[in-house]
């Protein structure tokens, strides 16, 4: 069900053409800094993969992939990727990367089950990256080291934006704050996971929440993760489970905690078997990707995704991701955005024209919820 945050007195700080120029600058600058910081080589990633191989990602474990038959392959089914976490690990093995080196790619995806709002679109674009590690690197300290490298690239990019657009002031704190999801739960008893994210990110400005997917003291995970890519079960040196997490920053336009990246040390054989069993997904052990991992032909790795449109939205002080990327939005959302001086890109208008030409202007609309800021 679509929803939108209402923004009072919103005035874009950069115009439409300046926004397009800014998007190009941010993407080029950040990916160069990311690749340098983490020793990553750019590779070309797929838009779709064969169905039934376990290569596609299940994200939270429930999202449906967009599937289609391939005529020239006897109508074999393929599916549009959700992200490339597993494909990247296969690619590391194919290229033979050594520890300390890895890859990044421009990932484009369709997430048809996404609930549309200011931050979520059917279309997803992100930098997917993966780096080979050693057994000794599978620690919380190493995870924090990688997060700090990424955060430094975020800080440098923020200053570049300030130089190009002086009206947009830097706001990221000097350092990112680390906290485990269990400690966060204890810090704010009685609050939901999303409420806890809001409170800690508003206070600190930039936060890395550790342990996404593992059951907490109340028996519930902070958020869901599919059981076959991030290692959220291995007990780290802090005595708590989880070698993964999310980078959150405070968005002062929407007044929300904005997730820029989900990342982590990937499962080894032991963690994979344990997490599949706990999730009741042991049938996945027979799939191609899982077989490769279990037989030991895939390298140990760390990796994640960093949202491109979200990053641009954050740096350019936009109120809706549709100001950055072209996607399809409900007409009710477009109308609400117009009232708030938010201009969404034009694909939605083309959709409305197509529906009218097809005689479907009166097509039943989905329920739309306006949510106060």
pLDDT in tens, 139-195: 999 999 999 999 999 999 999 999 999 999 999 999 999 999 999 999 999 999 999
- DSSP secondary structure string for all residues of 276-343: HHHHT-GGGGGSHHHHHHHTT-S--EEEEEEEHHHHHHHHTT-S-GGGTS-----HHHHHHHHHTT--
E-strand spans in 51-147? Answer: 67-70, 76-80, 102-110, 123-132
Q: For residue 7, what pLDDT is reported?
A: 92
Q: Which of 228, 236, 171 is nearest to 202 (CA)?
A: 171
Pairing between β-strand 48-50 and β-strand 76-80 as defined by DSSP bridges: antiparallel
Using pLDDT thresholds of 50, 70 and 90, give the confidence band for residue 362: very low
Contact by Cβ (8 Å): 182, 216 = yes
The tally of CA atoms less than 13 A away on the side-chain side of residue 210 is: 26
pLDDT in tens, 199-246: 999 999 999 999 999 999 999 999 999 999 999 999 999 999 999 999
For the beta sheet containing 40-42, the strands, ordered from the edge strand earlier in sequence to the opposite edge, are: 40-42, 102-110, 123-132, 301-307, 256-265, 244-251, 206-210, 177-180
Using pLDDT thresholds of 50, 70 and 90, give the confidence band for residue 354: low
Measured distance CA(276)–CA(285) in Å, rounded: 8
279-300 burial: b if 16+ Cβ within 10 Å, else e: bebeebbebebbebbeeeebbb
Contact by Cβ (8 Å): 330, 116 = yes
Q: Is 343 left (phi over 0), alpha (psi -120 to 50) or beta?
A: beta
Using pLDDT thresholds of 50, 70 and 90, give the confidence band for residue 351: low
Contact by Cβ (8 Å): 245, 222 = no
- For 6, the 3-state DSSP assignment is coil
H/E stretch holding 58 reads none
Measured distance CA(191)–CA(216) in Å, rounded: 14
- Share of the chain residues as helix, strand and coil, in percent rounded to the nearest 5: 35, 20, 40
Joined tokens for residue 69: 């038959």
H/E stretch holding 92 reads helix 85-95
- For 200, the 3-state DSSP assignment is helix
Measured torsion, CA atoms of residues 36, 163, 121, 105, in degrees rounded to the nearest 10: -20
Could you list the active site residues? 57, 111, 126, 246, 259, 262
List the Cα angle 11/13/17 in 5-degree steps: 110
Q: Which residues contact 257 (CB under 8 A, 6 or more apart)?
A: 197, 198, 200, 201, 202, 207, 248, 249, 250, 251
CATH class of 2-349: alpha beta
Q: For residue 57, what pLDDT is reported?
A: 79
Q: Which residues contact 295 (CB under 8 A, 6 or more apart)?
A: none
Q: For residue 356, what pLDDT is reported?
A: 60
Measured distance CA(126)–CA(325) in Å, rounded: 12
Joined tokens for residue 245: 């997490």
Q: In this predicted structure, which of 18-22, 220-224, 367-371 has the lowest mean pLDDT?
A: 367-371
Q: Which sequence spans correspond to the domains of the chain?
A: 2-349
Q: For residue 4, what pLDDT is reported?
A: 92
- DSSP secondary structure string for all residues of 132-162: E--GGG-SHHHHHHHHHHHHHHHHHHHHHHH
pTM for the model stands at 0.92
Q: Which of 104, 81, 83, 82 is nearest to 92 (CA)?
A: 104
Q: For residue 59, what pLDDT is reported?
A: 60
pLDDT in tens, 308-328: 999 999 999 999 999 999 999
Contact by Cβ (8 Å): 196, 188 = yes
Max CA separation in the chain (angstroms): 63
CB atoms under 10 Å from CB of 96, counted, come to 8
């Amino acid at each position: 069900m679509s929803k939108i945050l209402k923004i009072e007195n919103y005035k874009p700080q950069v115009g439409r053409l300046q926004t397009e120029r800014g998007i190009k600058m941010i993407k080029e600058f950040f990916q160069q800094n990311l690749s340098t910081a983490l020793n990553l080589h750019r590779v070309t990633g797929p838009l779709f993969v064969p169905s039934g191989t376990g290569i596609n990602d299940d994200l939270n474990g429930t999202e449906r992939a967009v599937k289609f038959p391939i005529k020239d392959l006897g109508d074999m089914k393929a599916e549009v990727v959700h992200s490339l976490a597993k494909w990247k690990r296969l690619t590391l093995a194919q290229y033979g990367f050594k520890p300390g080196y890895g890859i990044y790619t421009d990932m484009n995806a369709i997430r048809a089950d996404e609930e549309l709002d200011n931050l979520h679109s059917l279309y997803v674009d992100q930098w997917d990256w993966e780096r080979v590690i050693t057994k000794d690197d599978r620690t919380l300290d190493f995870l924090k080291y990688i997060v700090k490298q990424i955060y430094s690239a975020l800080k440098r990019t923020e200053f570049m934006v300030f130089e190009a657009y002086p009206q947009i002031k830097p706001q990221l704190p000097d350092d990112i704050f680390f906290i485990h999801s269990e400690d966060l739960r204890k810090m704010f008893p009685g609050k939901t996971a999303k409420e806890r994210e809001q409170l800690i990110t508003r206070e600190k400005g930039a936060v890395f929440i550790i342990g996404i997917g593992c059951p907490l003291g109340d028996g519930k995970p902070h958020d869901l993760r599919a059981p076959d890519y991030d290692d959220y079960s291995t007990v780290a040196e802090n005595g708590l489970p989880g070698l993964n997490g999310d980078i959150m920053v405070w968005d002062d336009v929407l007044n929300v905690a904005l997730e820029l990246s989900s990342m982590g040390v990937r499962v080894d054989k032991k963690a994979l078997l344990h997490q599949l069993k706990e999730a009741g997904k042991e049938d996945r052990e027979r799939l191609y990707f899982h077989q490769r991992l279990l037989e030991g032909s895939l390298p140990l790795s760390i990796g994640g995704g960093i949202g491109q449109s979200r990053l641009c939205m954050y740096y350019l002080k936009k109120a809706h991701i549709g100001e950055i990327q072209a996607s399809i939005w409900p007409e009710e959302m477009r109308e609400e955005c117009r009232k708030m001086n938010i201009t969404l890109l034009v694909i939605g208008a083309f959709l409305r024209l197509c529906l009218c030409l097809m005689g479907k202007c009166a097509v039943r609309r989905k329920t739309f919820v306006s949510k106060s800021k």
